Structure 1
């Protein structure tokens, strides 16, 4: 099966499960952990992956489903 583009997909798990192309931006997680600011504001234009980045963080930090998320 060919990889898809994933247009309109806003959930990291769905993006991986549907075998869509994904530009790995997980390096920003390390930056978030190193930065000790109380508030982080994510500003991007519409359709620039803000929700996808937030769901990536959700699955990364979710300890309740850690084993399942580790497979992503």
Structure 2
């Protein structure tokens, strides 16, 4: 499935600022793990400077984009 992954950056949960607008595209996966109070999920991201998709685990309180997919 192809879609336009526009570089919308993300909202930093520590200070509420938007970072990396125009440079990175960040998307949450549906997979969660961890225990309360900090729940984690996988983040997929594309950097403007590279041609690859990367993955890191991040706390769910970070403001990354979502992509709705109909199954």
Q: TM-score range, shorter-chain basis? A: under 0.3
The higher-RCO structure (CA 8 Å, 6+ apart) is 1
Q: Give me the TM-score of the superposition, normalised by structure 1.
A: 0.23
Q: In proportion to residue count, which structure has more strand?
A: 2
Structure with the greater alpha carbon radius of gyration: 1
Q: Give me the TM-score of the superposition, normalised by structure 2.
A: 0.23
